[in-house]
Amino acid sequence: MRDPRLHESGRMNKKGEPAWRRRLQFCPVAAFFLLTFLFSWGIWGVARVLSPGAGWGLRITIHTVGLCGPTVAALIMSAILYGRHGVADLLKQITHWRVGVVWYLFALFSTLTIGFTAIGIHALVGVPTPRLNLHIVPALVPLPAGLPEEYGWRGFALPHLMKKYNALVASLIIALFWLLWHIPISPILKNASFLGLFLLEIIPLSVLFSWLYINSRKSILLVVLYHLVYNTVVNVLNIPASTSLWAVYIGMNWLLAALVVFRCGASRLKWARS
Protein backbone atom coordinates (compact mmCIF):
# COMPACT_ATOMS: atom_id res chain seq x y z
CA MET A 1 0.00 0.00 0.00
CA ARG A 2 1.32 3.42 -0.91
CA ASP A 3 2.41 5.54 2.04
CA PRO A 4 0.22 8.69 2.10
CA ARG A 5 2.98 10.58 3.89
CA LEU A 6 5.27 10.57 0.85
CA HIS A 7 6.34 14.15 0.13
CA GLU A 8 5.63 14.43 -3.55
CA SER A 9 5.83 17.69 -5.41
CA GLY A 10 2.74 19.77 -4.77
CA ARG A 11 1.30 17.37 -2.16
CA MET A 12 0.15 18.92 1.09
CA ASN A 13 1.85 17.84 4.31
CA LYS A 14 -0.01 17.21 7.54
CA LYS A 15 0.12 20.89 8.40
CA GLY A 16 -1.62 21.85 5.18
CA GLU A 17 1.57 23.22 3.63
CA PRO A 18 2.75 22.27 0.12
CA ALA A 19 5.73 19.91 0.20
CA TRP A 20 7.73 22.04 -2.23
CA ARG A 21 7.41 25.04 0.09
CA ARG A 22 8.56 22.94 3.03
CA ARG A 23 11.63 21.87 1.05
CA LEU A 24 12.47 25.50 0.26
CA GLN A 25 12.50 26.26 3.96
CA PHE A 26 15.50 23.95 4.29
CA CYS A 27 17.46 25.56 1.45
CA PRO A 28 16.17 29.13 0.94
CA VAL A 29 19.58 30.57 0.08
CA ALA A 30 20.32 27.91 -2.55
CA ALA A 31 16.94 28.61 -4.13
CA PHE A 32 17.64 32.34 -3.99
CA PHE A 33 20.99 31.97 -5.76
CA LEU A 34 19.44 29.73 -8.40
CA LEU A 35 16.63 32.20 -9.13
CA THR A 36 19.10 35.09 -9.20
CA PHE A 37 21.31 33.41 -11.80
CA LEU A 38 18.37 32.18 -13.89
CA PHE A 39 16.88 35.67 -14.07
CA SER A 40 20.03 37.72 -14.62
CA TRP A 41 21.99 35.34 -16.83
CA GLY A 42 18.80 34.55 -18.76
CA ILE A 43 18.15 38.23 -19.51
CA TRP A 44 21.75 38.95 -20.47
CA GLY A 45 22.13 35.74 -22.47
CA VAL A 46 18.93 36.11 -24.49
CA ALA A 47 19.73 39.76 -25.17
CA ARG A 48 23.20 38.87 -26.43
CA VAL A 49 21.75 36.29 -28.82
CA LEU A 50 18.77 38.28 -30.07
CA SER A 51 20.21 41.79 -30.21
CA PRO A 52 24.02 41.65 -30.58
CA GLY A 53 24.02 45.00 -32.40
CA ALA A 54 21.75 46.82 -29.98
CA GLY A 55 22.30 50.54 -29.43
CA TRP A 56 23.66 52.11 -26.29
CA GLY A 57 20.25 52.89 -24.78
CA LEU A 58 18.89 49.37 -25.28
CA ARG A 59 22.08 47.79 -23.94
CA ILE A 60 21.90 49.89 -20.77
CA THR A 61 18.22 48.98 -20.32
CA ILE A 62 18.93 45.26 -20.69
CA HIS A 63 21.95 45.54 -18.40
CA THR A 64 19.85 47.26 -15.72
CA VAL A 65 16.95 44.80 -15.97
CA GLY A 66 19.40 41.92 -15.54
CA LEU A 67 20.85 43.59 -12.46
CA CYS A 68 17.47 43.20 -10.80
CA GLY A 69 17.96 39.43 -10.50
CA PRO A 70 18.98 39.42 -6.81
CA THR A 71 16.06 41.63 -5.80
CA VAL A 72 13.54 39.71 -7.92
CA ALA A 73 14.76 36.45 -6.41
CA ALA A 74 14.60 37.89 -2.88
CA LEU A 75 11.03 39.09 -3.38
CA ILE A 76 9.93 35.74 -4.82
CA MET A 77 11.54 33.77 -2.00
CA SER A 78 10.11 36.11 0.65
CA ALA A 79 6.65 35.75 -0.86
CA ILE A 80 6.92 31.95 -0.95
CA LEU A 81 8.32 31.57 2.55
CA TYR A 82 6.61 34.38 4.45
CA GLY A 83 3.78 35.71 2.31
CA ARG A 84 2.96 39.34 1.67
CA HIS A 85 4.09 40.35 5.16
CA GLY A 86 7.54 38.97 4.44
CA VAL A 87 7.71 40.94 1.20
CA ALA A 88 6.59 44.09 3.00
CA ASP A 89 9.19 43.60 5.74
CA LEU A 90 11.92 43.23 3.11
CA LEU A 91 10.83 46.25 1.08
CA LYS A 92 10.54 48.59 4.06
CA GLN A 93 14.24 48.16 4.86
CA ILE A 94 14.84 50.98 2.38
CA THR A 95 13.11 53.29 4.90
CA HIS A 96 15.56 52.52 7.73
CA TRP A 97 17.31 55.87 7.58
CA ARG A 98 17.50 56.76 11.27
CA VAL A 99 20.96 55.45 11.98
CA GLY A 100 24.06 57.06 13.41
CA VAL A 101 25.76 59.69 11.30
CA VAL A 102 28.99 57.67 11.38
CA TRP A 103 27.39 55.04 9.12
CA TYR A 104 26.38 57.68 6.59
CA LEU A 105 29.91 59.05 6.66
CA PHE A 106 31.30 55.58 6.01
CA ALA A 107 28.86 54.88 3.17
CA LEU A 108 29.47 58.21 1.46
CA PHE A 109 33.17 58.91 2.01
CA SER A 110 35.14 55.77 2.89
CA THR A 111 35.59 54.68 -0.73
CA LEU A 112 36.72 58.14 -1.81
CA THR A 113 39.22 58.28 1.06
CA ILE A 114 40.65 54.85 0.24
CA GLY A 115 40.75 55.68 -3.48
CA PHE A 116 42.71 58.90 -3.06
CA THR A 117 45.03 57.27 -0.52
CA ALA A 118 45.74 54.44 -2.94
CA ILE A 119 46.47 56.94 -5.72
CA GLY A 120 48.81 58.84 -3.39
CA ILE A 121 50.73 55.69 -2.46
CA HIS A 122 50.87 54.69 -6.11
CA ALA A 123 52.26 58.08 -7.10
CA LEU A 124 54.88 58.06 -4.34
CA VAL A 125 56.55 54.97 -5.79
CA GLY A 126 56.72 56.66 -9.18
CA VAL A 127 54.22 54.52 -11.09
CA PRO A 128 52.04 56.41 -13.61
CA THR A 129 48.46 56.83 -12.42
CA PRO A 130 45.54 56.49 -14.86
CA ARG A 131 43.72 59.64 -15.83
CA LEU A 132 40.37 60.34 -14.20
CA ASN A 133 37.35 59.07 -16.08
CA LEU A 134 35.35 62.27 -16.29
CA HIS A 135 33.02 61.21 -19.08
CA ILE A 136 29.63 61.62 -17.48
CA VAL A 137 27.86 58.67 -19.15
CA PRO A 138 30.40 55.96 -18.21
CA ALA A 139 30.49 57.41 -14.72
CA LEU A 140 26.73 57.16 -14.32
CA VAL A 141 26.33 53.67 -15.78
CA PRO A 142 27.04 51.91 -12.44
CA LEU A 143 24.49 54.00 -10.53
CA PRO A 144 21.52 51.61 -10.92
CA ALA A 145 23.55 48.73 -9.49
CA GLY A 146 22.93 49.22 -5.79
CA LEU A 147 19.16 49.06 -5.49
CA PRO A 148 18.55 46.12 -7.87
CA GLU A 149 21.18 44.04 -6.08
CA GLU A 150 21.14 44.81 -2.38
CA TYR A 151 17.67 43.59 -1.48
CA GLY A 152 19.02 40.21 -2.55
CA TRP A 153 22.64 39.96 -1.38
CA ARG A 154 22.24 41.72 1.94
CA GLY A 155 18.46 41.94 2.49
CA PHE A 156 17.74 38.23 1.92
CA ALA A 157 20.88 36.11 1.55
CA LEU A 158 22.89 37.50 4.49
CA PRO A 159 20.24 37.10 7.24
CA HIS A 160 19.36 33.59 6.06
CA LEU A 161 22.99 32.50 5.84
CA MET A 162 23.60 33.85 9.34
CA LYS A 163 21.07 31.34 10.67
CA LYS A 164 23.65 28.63 9.91
CA TYR A 165 27.01 30.44 9.73
CA ASN A 166 28.73 33.32 11.42
CA ALA A 167 28.66 36.72 9.74
CA LEU A 168 32.16 36.39 8.28
CA VAL A 169 31.51 33.00 6.65
CA ALA A 170 28.15 34.23 5.36
CA SER A 171 29.89 37.23 3.79
CA LEU A 172 32.48 34.99 2.11
CA ILE A 173 29.76 32.75 0.65
CA ILE A 174 27.99 35.80 -0.78
CA ALA A 175 31.31 37.05 -2.18
CA LEU A 176 31.79 33.85 -4.18
CA PHE A 177 28.33 33.94 -5.76
CA TRP A 178 28.57 37.71 -6.22
CA LEU A 179 31.74 37.19 -8.26
CA LEU A 180 30.26 34.40 -10.40
CA TRP A 181 27.11 36.42 -11.04
CA HIS A 182 29.17 39.31 -12.46
CA ILE A 183 31.00 37.26 -15.09
CA PRO A 184 28.63 37.81 -18.06
CA ILE A 185 28.61 41.61 -17.67
CA SER A 186 32.18 42.40 -16.67
CA PRO A 187 34.63 42.36 -19.59
CA ILE A 188 37.61 42.47 -17.22
CA LEU A 189 36.51 39.16 -15.73
CA LYS A 190 37.21 37.34 -18.98
CA ASN A 191 40.91 37.71 -18.21
CA ALA A 192 42.21 35.26 -15.60
CA SER A 193 44.45 37.80 -13.85
CA PHE A 194 41.68 40.37 -13.63
CA LEU A 195 39.31 37.66 -12.39
CA GLY A 196 41.70 36.98 -9.53
CA LEU A 197 41.97 40.65 -8.65
CA PHE A 198 38.22 41.08 -8.75
CA LEU A 199 37.79 38.11 -6.40
CA LEU A 200 40.32 39.68 -4.04
CA GLU A 201 38.32 42.92 -4.20
CA ILE A 202 34.93 41.26 -3.69
CA ILE A 203 35.96 39.39 -0.52
CA PRO A 204 36.70 42.39 1.75
CA LEU A 205 33.95 44.39 0.08
CA SER A 206 31.37 41.74 0.97
CA VAL A 207 32.54 41.84 4.59
CA LEU A 208 32.26 45.62 4.69
CA PHE A 209 28.79 45.53 3.14
CA SER A 210 27.68 43.00 5.76
CA TRP A 211 29.17 45.08 8.55
CA LEU A 212 27.34 48.20 7.34
CA TYR A 213 24.04 46.36 6.89
CA ILE A 214 24.16 44.70 10.31
CA ASN A 215 25.12 47.86 12.18
CA SER A 216 22.67 50.16 10.39
CA ARG A 217 19.67 48.13 11.64
CA LYS A 218 19.39 46.28 8.32
CA SER A 219 19.19 49.47 6.31
CA ILE A 220 19.03 48.75 2.59
CA LEU A 221 19.26 52.52 2.10
CA LEU A 222 22.75 52.64 3.61
CA VAL A 223 24.13 49.68 1.67
CA VAL A 224 22.63 51.02 -1.56
CA LEU A 225 24.33 54.36 -0.96
CA TYR A 226 27.61 52.58 -0.24
CA HIS A 227 27.23 50.46 -3.39
CA LEU A 228 26.47 53.47 -5.57
CA VAL A 229 29.32 55.56 -4.20
CA TYR A 230 31.75 52.65 -4.39
CA ASN A 231 31.01 51.92 -8.05
CA THR A 232 31.06 55.57 -9.05
CA VAL A 233 34.34 56.37 -7.27
CA VAL A 234 36.11 53.32 -8.70
CA ASN A 235 34.95 54.25 -12.20
CA VAL A 236 35.70 57.97 -11.97
CA LEU A 237 39.15 57.37 -10.45
CA ASN A 238 39.67 54.72 -13.16
CA ILE A 239 41.29 52.40 -10.62
CA PRO A 240 41.05 49.09 -12.57
CA ALA A 241 42.89 50.71 -15.51
CA SER A 242 46.16 50.12 -13.66
CA THR A 243 46.82 46.66 -12.24
CA SER A 244 49.29 48.02 -9.68
CA LEU A 245 46.92 50.79 -8.53
CA TRP A 246 44.08 48.32 -8.29
CA ALA A 247 46.26 46.00 -6.20
CA VAL A 248 47.09 48.85 -3.78
CA TYR A 249 43.43 49.79 -3.57
CA ILE A 250 42.40 46.18 -2.91
CA GLY A 251 45.07 45.83 -0.24
CA MET A 252 43.69 48.82 1.61
CA ASN A 253 40.19 47.33 1.51
CA TRP A 254 41.60 44.10 2.95
CA LEU A 255 43.21 46.08 5.74
CA LEU A 256 39.94 47.85 6.53
CA ALA A 257 37.95 44.59 6.48
CA ALA A 258 40.53 42.91 8.72
CA LEU A 259 40.25 45.78 11.23
CA VAL A 260 36.46 45.43 11.18
CA VAL A 261 36.64 41.69 11.86
CA PHE A 262 39.24 42.20 14.60
CA ARG A 263 37.24 44.98 16.27
CA CYS A 264 33.74 43.51 15.90
CA GLY A 265 34.35 39.76 15.83
CA ALA A 266 33.65 37.28 13.05
CA SER A 267 30.51 35.95 14.71
CA ARG A 268 28.18 38.93 14.25
CA LEU A 269 30.36 41.77 12.91
CA LYS A 270 28.49 43.86 15.45
CA TRP A 271 30.02 47.14 16.53
CA ALA A 272 30.02 47.48 20.31
CA ARG A 273 31.08 50.74 21.88
CA SER A 274 33.72 50.29 24.55
How is the chain split into domains, by residue range?
A: 19-264
For the chain, list the strands marked E by DSSP. none
The yes-or-no verdict on residue 268 having pLDDT over 90 is yes
DSSP class of 176:
H
Angle subtended at Cα 227 by Cα 223 and Cα 228, rounded to the nearest 5 degrees: 120
pLDDT per residue as tens digits for the range 211-253: 999 999 999 999 999 999 998 899 889 998 899 999 999 999 9
Q: Which of 71-85, 120-134, 219-233 has the lowest mean pLDDT?
A: 120-134
Where residue 59 falls among pLDDT bands split at 50, 70, 90? Answer: confident
3-state helix, strand, coil in the chain (%, to 5): 75, 0, 25
**pLDDT for residue 26:** 82
Which of 208, 196, 222 is CA-nearest to residue 252?
208
pLDDT > 70 fraction of the chain, expressed in percent and rounded: 88
Burial 176-202 (b: 16+ CB within 10 A, else e): ebbbebeebeeeebeeeebbebbbbbb
Question: How many residues are there in the chain?
Answer: 274
pLDDT per residue as tens digits for the range 23-49: 777 899 999 999 999 999 999 998 877
Mean pLDDT throughout 80-103? Answer: 95
**Contact (Cβ atoms closer than 8 angstroms) between residue 88 and residue 153:** no
The yes-or-no verdict on residue 4 having pLDDT over 60 is no
Task: Please compute Rg for the chain using Cα positions.
Answer: 20
